[in-house]
Structure 1
């Protein structure tokens, strides 16, 4: 392409400081270096992890940055040493890399990757490297991806090639939220046919967890949320019951235990709240219950009485739904193309990159499930 090897000036949403609106700026995107891919972002969606960094954790060293990590695009050019991708390929950026060479990537028990810990500075949720500058300043790349930009540069170990027929404005959701929730049920909890499940939190991740429980054959799926408007949407994805903790004076764990006699077989926490994590564990059946922490937070410690685990419950964590990105994301795209996976139903709003602050406000006030931003024409 005519832009290969050159700096690209393009539009991006820059978060200059925490807890302030992002600003649409012209940034410079350098050409990809060795083992890197430059991608034209076609569509990106707003995930709660973006808000977590901007409005909750607000780490002062994590700014300025370009947020965004749930997206899909087209390869514009590749750097030296890249053989897996070529210009024109449709791809999904991955916030969790898969180098395929480390002991974690080679172990089927995990989707962790050693390179992810050296490539991303976890405390500031940004890549060690950045190919962005704006107003003469270096701008961080959020989670090593930064998809609130018309172009971004990502290491090839953090990019998944997908079906060229896939609609990017739909499959962008597989870059984080849908895989995270769905995989937490299918890969991490390993929900069994005929089981009873409870999903705490009905944002996109929670609804995807509901969908995963249904796909795994659960007979009863109890959706838990303090927003009564989420009830009908949960049923679309397979929930059989809806419980609003605000409707009960008893602890929600007691409510669910009474509903199921012994507690649920599987519970999934999709909020990122340590109190809810504890409630989810206590809602699972003593003796065999499995509870999975899916929601992200790194701001608080969690406490539990040892007896809740000694009695036989299992407590697990799930990052990106247990999917190894390069392998799992294309499979999820295929499942959508084969009409075995819902994606359209998650999209409550469609906007442009210029409206990113409006999209952030919608999520901040729980007025959306997923807002997809159109970034660049295909």
Structure 2
């Protein structure tokens, strides 16, 4: 019987409990988790920023080994090493066929339902059903997920590093290489240098940005950002970060500015950091009632700026996960350096509480 971390109500610590896990149904696989990253989105469920049905097995950034496959699964077999995608991508719906797999219709419905593609979960405890976060539930020693939400990786890749691809890397690196239009030599600003922001930075570097301005209020995060490729560090608590970015870019502004926090004030700042004709890419997830007001004529028409939303790094997981695994093995993608702490499942509440620390990029649960 696997153990899992369950969120029962907003504002309460996660409970570590024994859970029952059904066998995979048709089109599903059972995965023995090797590792799971502790992501800010998990914290956002516990504090109500992200709406998710409860009680739920949290976790959505994981990697493991396939234990069992359901009827009709031909692309995976027991023993395969996989990264979990919290937006399963079918490849057949309108959005998948239009190059927007991150918006997959059945995958998105499953992720929001607290279940799998049939909208039901495979977890229960004490005879009572438990939802599973984002069709994943990786805060568990084992989980069942749609086969289209498990992407095969090389068997020799460390699962702790692979787990981070499942959310932080796909979201952040993908924002830079898929969502944004970064040209070689561009100046980029990244507002928010947590785990996802660090991946935006290394994605921008990979895309050819020459100057990468990291903006945060925590000096520890800024120092880490420098290790991932930031060329300039701006502590937003020392003055007006927009003015500083303007000064660093010759008064013009950044070619592309990324917001990776999800606050109204930082969204406005990010838009104002972008140059005329530039882009502001919104990566951080705000609370559902957050609004922003931008002058239509001056902001969009006369200055020809763009705002782009970014969900899951605009990723095609079936292409991008193998690509990022290859970049890691080639030494072109920093994953081990993202891991600040390796913890057991019992340490998950401390990891959530310490998420704002400047010394923590990612805590990773390792399962024995």
Contact 2:89 2:96 in 1 (8 A): yes
Equivalent residue for 1:177, pick from 156, 168, 176: 168
2:17 is equivalent to residue 13 of structure 1? no
Match of residue 116 from structure 1: 107
Q: Greater CA deviation, 199-208 or 100-109? A: 100-109
Match of residue 273 from structure 2: 283
Counterparts of 2:229 and 2:357, CA distance in 1: 25
2:217 is equivalent to residue 226 of structure 1? yes
2:289 is equivalent to residue 297 of structure 1? no
Match of residue 152 from structure 1: 143
Equivalent residue for 2:344, pick from 342, 345, 352: 352
The alpha-carbon deviation at position 120 of structure 1 amounts to 2.8
Gaps of 5+ in 2: none
The alpha-carbon deviation at position 367 of structure 1 amounts to 4.6
Q: Secondary structure at the match of 1:285?
A: strand
Counterparts of 1:57 and 1:294, CA distance in 2: 15
Equivalent residue for 2:317, pick from 305, 311, 325: 325
Which residues of 2 match residues 263-278 of structure 1 at below 5 A? 263-278=253-268
Match of residue 92 from structure 1: 83
The alpha-carbon deviation at position 364 of structure 1 amounts to 4.6
The alpha-carbon deviation at position 29 of structure 1 amounts to 0.2
Counterparts of 2:151 and 2:61, CA distance in 1: 12
Which residues of 2 match residues 300-315 of structure 1 at below 5 A? 300-306=290-296, 307-310=298-301, 311-315=303-307
The alpha-carbon deviation at position 302 of structure 1 amounts to 2.3
Which residues of 2 match residues 144-223 of structure 1 at below 5 A? 144-223=135-214
The alpha-carbon deviation at position 108 of structure 1 amounts to 2.7
Match of residue 257 from structure 1: 246
The alpha-carbon deviation at position 234 of structure 1 amounts to 1.1
Q: Greater CA deviation, 295-304 or 315-324? A: 295-304
Deviations 1:159-180 (A, max 9, x none): 1111111110111100000221
Match of residue 341 from structure 1: 333
Which residues of 2 match residues 1-80 of structure 1 at below 5 A? 9-57=1-49, 59=51, 62-80=53-71
Cα 1:215/1:262, change in 2 over 3 Å: same
The alpha-carbon deviation at position 289 of structure 1 amounts to 0.7
Cα 1:227/1:126, change in 2 over 3 Å: farther
Contact 2:60 2:138 in 1 (8 A): yes
The alpha-carbon deviation at position 77 of structure 1 amounts to 0.3
Contact 2:110 2:134 in 1 (8 A): no
Deviations 1:38-73 (A, max 9, x none): 1001100100000001113375x7211011001100
Contact 2:340 2:360 in 1 (8 A): yes
Q: Secondary structure at the match of 1:209?
A: helix
The alpha-carbon deviation at position 335 of structure 1 amounts to 0.9
Counterparts of 1:155 and 1:366, CA distance in 2: 35
Match of residue 6 from structure 1: none
The alpha-carbon deviation at position 206 of structure 1 amounts to 0.5
2:368 is equivalent to residue 371 of structure 1? no
Counterparts of 2:222 and 2:26, CA distance in 1: 49
Contact 1:19 1:58 in 2 (8 A): no
Contact 1:62 1:126 in 2 (8 A): no
Gaps of 5+ in 1: 1-8
Q: Greater CA deviation, 130-139 or 320-329? A: 320-329
Counterparts of 2:190 and 2:111, CA distance in 1: 30
Counterparts of 1:111 and 1:165, CA distance in 2: 27
Q: Secondary structure at the match of 1:304?
A: coil
Q: Secondary structure at the match of 2:200?
A: helix
